[in-house]
Structure 1
Amino acid sequence: MLITAQFDSGNIDILEAADSSNIRLSIRKDNQSDFYQWFHFKLYGEAGVEHVMHIENAGQSAYPDGWKDYCAVASYDRDVWFRVPTEFDGKTLTIRHELDQESCYYAYFTPYSYERHQDLIQWAQQSTLCEHVLLGQTLDGRDMNLLVIGEPSEEKQKIWVTARQHPGESMAEWFIEGLLGRLLDDEDGAVRKLLQNNVFYVVPNMNPDGSVRGHLRTNAVGVNLNREWEQPSLAQSPEVYHVLKAMDQTGVDMYLDIHGDENLPYNFVAGAEGVPSFNEAMDALGNRFKAALVAITPEFQTEFGYDVDAPGEANMTVASNAVAERFQCLAFTLEMPFKDNANLPDADFGWSANRSQQLGADVISAIYAVADDLRA
């Protein structure tokens, strides 16, 4: 028996792996940070035998409530990821799985590899609707990629979408893949209409270093990028620095920042109600966006989510708040679950890569519902 995490986004430490009925594991912390929760490893074992894996430091992870009612994902082919029996006793997360084949991968959520990210960028670049822009590089020397969809002009509205500031929230890039699949479909009527008056600026992965390193929440030097938007720096947060610089050059009329939430088993958005410039018109526009998305898909809801900030009390280091205030625009953080959508559960797959992709495609219709009034 052997366990390894020596690959893209791998994360696990092996404490003991001599007995398949008592495999003792530990999740590594993000570099220069106390955050940890993402895991991704490969088990070589014996087919037909149940393997019991104990992640012993789960109770001290960044979001221990995230383990309640959670099931890990597993895959034999790294394509189809399914849920496996998982339990949490307040201290240890235990995964039980009888192998059908000789080796199997396990992860916190369906991984989105850096190789797939690079393929996504190059695939999008093939479209005549898309321009690929290199914004700069990360601390580990990886590219910060921006995809511009539509023909830019001063008169057109600018809609920005960023994803995966927190690298362990891999569902965010699956969402982007679905969104891009629709945006680059030149036979989609809603998209054709949208691109007459709007240009989309999409950053599929804000944190490629953390993604490759197997981090949950931070970049190469342990910085939480979604707390850097008030004053980003090239030394600590070049990812945010480069994106914000590009936003300043283009302007922003609508902004979506795509994330995953460890605790809540729902899809929801968090708005910018607490920023100084928030007003009734922005509130009404945001409510229209949410109502449209509720009407489009049962995967989205508005009953459960984060507490709404009181007026003037928003955390201005957070992307959606900072952008909403800086550009006086509609801005949301969109959250998806690591667990399942409790309103539409799927015992075999839970919330999944495929469902994330579909939500990304569906969001285009909600944007379409409010696009004509973004500048009003």
Structure 2
Amino acid sequence: MFITAQFDSGNIEVIDATNEDAIELQIRKDHQSDFYQWFHFKLYGEVGAEHVMRITNAGDSAYPDGWKDYSAVASYDRETWFRVPTSFDGKTLTIRHTLEQESVYFAYFTPYSYERHQDLIQSAQQSSLVEHVWLGATLDGRDMNLLVIGEPSDAKRKIWVTARQHPGESMAEWFIEGLLGRLLDDEDGAARKLLQDTVFYVVPNMNPDGSVRGHLRTNAVGTNLNREWQEPSLERSPEVYYVLQAMQETGVDLYLDIHGDENLPYNFLAGCEGVPCYDASHAKLAQRFKDTLLAITPEFQVEHGYEVDGPGEANLTVASNAVAERFNCLAFTLEMPFKDNANLPDEDFGWSANRSAQLGADVLSAVYAVANNLRD
């Protein structure tokens, strides 16, 4: 039996793997940070034997409540990821699986590899609707990619979408894949109409260094990018620095920042109600956006989510709040679950890559519903 995490987004430390029914593991912390929760590893073992893996430091992870009612994902072919029996006793996360083949991958959520990210960028670039912009380099020297969809014009409304500030939230880039798939479909009427009057600026992965390193929440030097939007720096948060610089050049009329939530088993939006500029027009647009999503997909709901900030109480280091205030625009943080959508559970797959991508496509309808009124 052998366990490895020496690959893109791999994260696990082997404490004891001498017995297949008592494998002891630990999740490695983000570099220069105390955050940890993401895991991704490969196990070689005996076909037909049950393997019991105990992640012994789960109880001290960044979001220990996230392990409650959670099931890990596994895959033999790295295409289909299914849920496997998982339990948590307050300290240790135990994963059980009987091998059907000689090796299997396990992960916190379906990974979105850096190789797939590069494929997504280059595939989108093939469209005549897309301009691929290199914004700069990360601290590890990786590309910061921006996709501009539509013909830029001062008269057109500017829709910005960023994803995966927290690299372990891989569902965010699956969401982007679904959004781009619909937006670049020349037979989709809503997409075609939107691009007559709007331009989309999409950053599919805000944190490529953390993604490759197997981090949960931070970049190469342990910075939580979603707390850097008031004063980003090239030394600690070049990813935010470059994106905010590009936003300043284009302006922003609507901003969506795509995330995953460890604890809540729902899809939901967190708005910018607490920023100083928020007014009745923002509230009206926000309600229309939510009502549209509620009407078209049972995957979205508004009963469960984060506590709404009081007037003037927003944390302006957070992306959606910072952008809303800086550009006096509508902005949301969209959250998806690591567990499942409790309102529409799927025992075999839980919340998944495919469902994330479908939600990305569906959100385009909500954008369409508010686009014409973003500058009212």
- TM-score range (shorter-chain normalised) is over 0.9
The equivalences for 1:351-370 within 5 A come to 351-370=351-370
1:186 to partner: Cα distance:
1.1
Letter of the 1:119 partner, please give it.
D
- Note the 1:156-235 alignment, pairs <5 A: 156-235=156-235
**1:48 aligns to what?**
48
Q: Distance in 2 between matches of 1:280 and 1:151?
A: 31
Structure 1 length normalisation: TM-score?
1.00
- 2 CA distance for matches of 1:195 and 1:179? 13
- Which residue matches 1:116? 116
CA distance in 1, matches of 2:181, 2:285: 26
How far the C-alpha of 1:279 sits from its partner, in A, is: 0.7
- Give unmatched runs, 5+ long, in structure 2: none
CA–CA separation in structure 2 for the residues paired with 1:295 and 1:283: 18
1:144-198 deviation digits (Å, cap 9, x = unpaired): 0000000000100000000000000000000000000001111110011000100
State the distance in 1 between where 2:295 and 2:327 align. 28
1:43-82 C-alpha deviation (Å, 9 max, x unpaired): 0000100000000000000000000000000000000000
What code does the residue aligned with 2:373 have? D
1:345-373 alpha-carbon deviations (Å, 9 max, x no partner): 00000000000000000000110011110
Match of 1:334 in 2: 334
Identity percentage over the alignment?
Answer: 80
Q: Secondary structure at the match of 1:373?
A: coil
The whole-number CA distance in structure 1 between the counterparts of 2:266 and 2:44 is 34
1:375 Cα deviation after fit: 0.5
Spell out structure 1 runs of 4+ moving beyond 3 A: none
Q: Show the 5 A alignment for 1:111-150.
A: 111-150=111-150
| 1:349 partnered with 2:352 | no
Matched with 1:89 is 89
The amino acid of 1:240's aligned partner reads V
User: How far apart, CA to CA, are the structure 2 residues paired with 1:190 and 1:35?
Assistant: 40
Q: In the aligned structure 2, how far is the partner of 1:230 from the partner of 1:370?
A: 27
Aligned amino acid, residue 44 of structure 1: Y
User: What does residue 306 of structure 1 align with?
Assistant: 306
Q: TM-score, normalised by structure 2?
A: 1.00
Partner-residue secondary structure (3-state), 1:185: coil
Equivalent residue for 1:285? 285
RMSD: 0.3
The residue that corresponds to 1:31 in the other structure is 31
Cα drift, residue 84 of structure 1: 0.0
Amino acid at match of 1:287: Q
Task: Report SS of the residue matched to 1:15.
Answer: strand
